[in-house]
Amino acid sequence: MNFVPHTQADIQEMLKAIGVSSVEDLFKDISPGLRAKSFNLPQGLSELEVVEYCRNLSSLNSSGLKNFLGAGFYQHFIPAAVDELAGRSEFYTAYTPYQPESSQGWLQSIYEYQTAICELTGLDVANASLYDGGTAIFEAAMMALRITGRNKIILDSGVNFIYRSMLYSYTANLNIEFVETQVVHGQSCREEVYKYLDDKTAAIILQNPNFFGAVDDHTDIVEKAHSFGCLVIESVYPISLGMLKTPAEMGVDIAVGEGQSLGLPLSFGGPYLGFMCVKKDFVRKMPGRIVGATLDKEGKRGFVLTLQAREQHIRREKATSNICSNQALCALRAVIYLSLIGKEGLKELAELNYQKSEFAKELLAKIPKVEVKRSSPTFNEFTIVLPKRVDHVIKKMTAKGFIAGFPLGKYYKGMDNYLLVTVTEIKSKDNIVDFAKALEEVLVA
């Protein structure tokens, strides 16, 4: 094997220095009764063989289909420089920057990432990353419970169903009361939220744009929540923040979200990036690593991991979270991406997504018996109602080279004919026209 560099002579010399006669002697603490009963693995392969085998596997996947499926996970343009820079092994073969003098590059990058996330959401303090958008909601919920000392949570059903089900899994053994409120005409149902809101409610969890793609202004809900001493957590889609009202502008306390759209490939589900950004009063209750600026002995600016007294390696069972390894490399991609897209670019990008999606709405609405839901505004994702069950339509659309969207009936009762369609900047006008044409053909057939 080529990965262990030792020659036979090295091994002999080292054994001699240790004072044992064989490597096996070093394993004596593992008594015969504890030895592996089996280790039936294949023999190793060469690099060439492994790469070829994996290339074959990769060719069994469908990377060629034109993708109109989003549902929280989006195909966006990724500038080549993101891969080039995040692909530098001085970054990716390092680890948690425990030693600041030998990790300034990483620490500064994370500080820059924190700044970019604060700018996006408008809130005061971001952490260095969480695993994904779903665990970020869970962490935010736990944080709200700690801050308020209450145990009830109002969960808007416009929050991605995947995240809601993760939240229920994590809290199955905790004594938390959840109420789920409906979406009406695409948006959060105020009436229902206010009905449940009381002085036992720790947090209201919302999403903007919500799972159906609808854009909302949650300012009124936040005001009402605060009058009960209840916090508001909002999950946001970072690209939409090139255009949409920020969590801070709505008064939201904790913004979280999935950062995959910030320069990360879809990669069949990960690694992704959970981000969290909070009002500064809550910083000591926040989970995850945080980088801060300070000075060295000569008065020069430098960066360190800070507020570590919140974390598991110090606080153990009393820590704000159990998180240790996080998604730092993904956060690096995000800050490189946001730097490349830049201040003006982000606005343009949001506008491209919005306009292309509006164009798609208009074309799809012209297909006989197709209804485009228009009761609320949308950003780059919207709901259409088809004259047929969506699952069959999706199957036929793949034969024409399209992933048509997400079948809402799979997770929402009575929505078997509803399709969630996403249009990002990577779709040209022709792609959209072709998509509408294909859909019409499938529906007529």
Ligand X SMILES: Cc1ncc(COP(=O)(O)O)c(C=O)c1O
Site for other proteins in 329-368 (CB under 8 A): 329-330, 332, 335-336, 338-349, 351-352, 354-356, 358-359, 362
Q: From CA 63, how far away is CA 66, in angstroms rounded?
A: 8
Closest to other proteins by CB, 74 or 196: 74
Contacts (Cβ under 8 Å, ≥6 apart) of 442 = 393, 396, 397, 400
If one asks whether residue 391 binds other proteins (CB under 8 A), the answer comes out as yes
For 406, the 3-state DSSP assignment is: strand
If one asks whether residue 126 binds other proteins (CB under 8 A), the answer comes out as yes
**Which one among 23, 184, 314, 324 touches ligand X, defined by CB under 6 A?**
324
Neighbours of 68 (CB within 10 A): 25
- Least distance to ligand X from the beta carbon of 97, Å? 14
Q: From CA 116, how far away is CA 334, in angstroms rounded?
A: 9
The letter for the amino acid at 270 is G
Q: From CA 127, how far away is CA 136, in angstroms rounded?
A: 11
**Which one among 66, 103, 233, 276 touches other proteins, defined by CB under 8 A?**
103
- Least distance to other proteins from the beta carbon of 237, Å? 13
Q: Compute the C-alpha angle 132/166/86, nearest 5°.
A: 10
- Least distance to ligand X from the beta carbon of 164, Å? 24
- Least distance to other proteins from the beta carbon of 421, Å? 13
If one asks whether residue 22 binds ligand X (CB under 6 A), the answer comes out as no
- Least distance to other proteins from the beta carbon of 280, Å? 8
Q: 296-335 mask for other proteins (x: CB under 8 A)?
A: xxx-xxxxx-xx---xxxxxxxxx-xxxxxxxxxx-x--x
* Binding at 314: pick from ligand X, other proteins, none (beta carbon under 5-8 Å per type): other proteins
Closest to ligand X by CB, 135 or 357: 135
Pick the stretch among 49-57, 178-186, 228-236, 380-388 that binds other proteins (CB under 8 A): 49-57
**Residue list 236-255, contact with other proteins (CB under 8 A):** 241-246, 249
Contacts (Cβ under 8 Å, ≥6 apart) of 163 = 72, 133, 134, 137, 235
Pick the stretch among 82-90, 145-153, 229-237, 435-443 that binds other proteins (CB under 8 A): 82-90
What separation, in Å, do the N-terminal and C-terminal C-alpha atoms of the chain show? 59
For 202, the 3-state DSSP assignment is: strand
**Which one among 8, 149, 268, 445 touches other proteins, defined by CB under 8 A?**
268
Q: From CA 215, how far away is CA 121, in angstroms rounded?
A: 15
Closest to ligand X by CB, 59 or 325: 325
Q: Which of 197, 199, 135 is nearest to 167 (CA)?
A: 135
Contact criterion met (CB below 8 Å) for 345 and 330: no
Contact criterion met (CB below 8 Å) for 425 and 352: yes
Closest to ligand X by CB, 50 or 324: 324
Q: Which of 206, 193, 191 is nearest to 251 (CA)?
A: 206
Pick the stretch among 192-200, 221-229, 235-243, 436-444 that binds other proteins (CB under 8 A): 235-243
If one asks whether residue 45 binds ligand X (CB under 6 A), the answer comes out as no
**Which one among 2, 56, 89, 325 touches ligand X, defined by CB under 6 A?**
325
* Binding at 298: pick from ligand X, other proteins, none (beta carbon under 5-8 Å per type): other proteins
**Residue list 200-219, contact with other proteins (CB under 8 A):** 215-217
**Residue list 359-378, contact with ligand X (CB under 6 A):** none
Closest to other proteins by CB, 226 or 315: 315
Contact criterion met (CB below 8 Å) for 233 and 137: yes
CA-CA-CA-CA dihedral for 352, 358, 359, 361, to nearest 10: 140
- Least distance to other proteins from the beta carbon of 228, Å? 23
Q: How far is CA 193 from CA 197, 250, 338, 375, in A?
A: 6, 17, 35, 19
Kindly list the residues in this chain that would bind ligand X in the complex (CB under 6 A).
324-325
